[in-house]
Amino acid sequence: MTSIKVPPEHPRAESLQIREKLVEYYHRGVVASAGLIAHGRGEAFDYMLGEKITKPALNAVKAAAATLLTAEKAVISVNGNTAALVAEEIVRLAQITKAKIEVNLFYRSVDRELAIKGVLEKAGAHEVLGVGEDASAKIPELGSERRRVDPRGILVADVVLVPLEDGDRTEALVKMGKKVIAIDLNPLSRTSQKATITIVDNVVRATPKLVEIVGKLEHDLKKCNEILLNFDNKKNLAESITLIKGRLSKLAEK
């Protein structure tokens, strides 16, 4: 296994450490090989966003927190990259919002499902849905392995959080009447465009921020409703795209 120790003084140390972590979890059977490619795609958008949480991302995080806290049956869908990067934050988020955690993979294999379950349990999860025979239900109209869901989880959820998704499932879940919260660095992706709430940010920043905000809003139903009344996903998503455009223009002028 080729892995390097990133010198902390390296100007891009944080980004390189995240990359190394994904490579390590790839070798541990958690991350799919395509997960490494997906990360590279995300990195490119992160560069354009300025590698920090933006105002529209923060607005979306607040709306996501309010949605999770007011949900009846929320589920956090976890894939390989998410487990590798933010397992502890996912478990904490599930605890505060009383959401269930379900493994849902594009590149499904029992070995990967078990490896991801193991990572989540090590991070403190008591129950992980969607593993092996537990993923016995099917999302209609979906051809990929992502169609296989747990009848106690995603199938009956009213709200599903999907960090790092791949398009058609978001659309299918929305068609089933569910609210979908996506975390995706690419504001142009089908997931971003089809989700009910789109957080255009890196999971490594958005997930801890989500934990922080749900902690603040946990007992404030009035505030949650107020946030939701004032949130417009289309407008917010457009702001992320405009922000990238503005940043690129400024950089071009330099």
State the Rg of the chain over Cα: 18
Q: Is 90 in the site for ligand PTJ (CB under 6 A)?
A: no
Q: How far is CA 170 from the centre of its chain?
A: 12
CB closer to ligand PTJ out of 41 and 245: 41
Out of 173, 183, 227, 244, name the contact with ligand PTJ by CB under 6 A: 183
CB of 13 to ligand PTJ, least distance (A): 17
**How are beta strands 159-163 and 148-149 bridged, if at all?**
unpaired
- Which residues on adjacent β-strands are paired with residue 137? 149
The two tokens of residue 24 are: 């390590």
CB of 223 to ligand PTJ, least distance (A): 26
Instruction: Report the distance separating Cα 129 and Cα 21, nearest Å.
Output: 25
26 with 35: CB under 8 angstroms? yes
Q: Is 235 in the site for ligand PTJ (CB under 6 A)?
A: no
CB closer to ligand PTJ out of 85 and 224: 85
Sheet (strand 74-78) strand order: 100-103, 74-78, 159-163, 179-183, 197-199
Q: Tell me which stretch binds ligand PTJ (CB under 6 A): 51-59, 154-162, 177-185, 230-238.
A: 177-185
Out of 42, 56, 130, 153, name the contact with ligand PTJ by CB under 6 A: 42
53 with 171: CB under 8 angstroms? no
Out of 184, 195, 213, 227, name the contact with ligand PTJ by CB under 6 A: 184
Instruction: Give me the residue whose beta carbon is nearest to ligand PTJ.
Output: 42
CB of 61 to ligand PTJ, least distance (A): 13
Near ligand PTJ in 16-35, by CB under 6 A: 32, 34-35
Near ligand PTJ in 104-163, by CB under 6 A: 105-107
Please report, for residues 17, 23, 87, 120, 165, the alpha-carbon distance to residue 3 in angstroms, rounded to integers and kept in the order given: 10, 8, 21, 23, 27
Q: Is 57 in the site for ligand PTJ (CB under 6 A)?
A: no
Helix (H, G, I), strand (E, B) or coil at 137: strand
Size of residue set near ligand PTJ by CB under 6 A: 24
Residue type, 97: T
Out of 10, 12, 27, 41, name the contact with ligand PTJ by CB under 6 A: 41
Q: DSSP assignment, residue 51?
A: S
Q: Is 182 in the site for ligand PTJ (CB under 6 A)?
A: no
Instruction: Report the distance separating Cα 5 and Cα 13, nearest Å.
Output: 10
Out of 65, 74, 164, 211, name the contact with ligand PTJ by CB under 6 A: 164
Q: Which residues bind ligand PTJ (CB under 6 A)?
A: 32, 34-35, 38-39, 41-42, 45, 79-81, 105-107, 164-166, 183-186, 189, 202-203
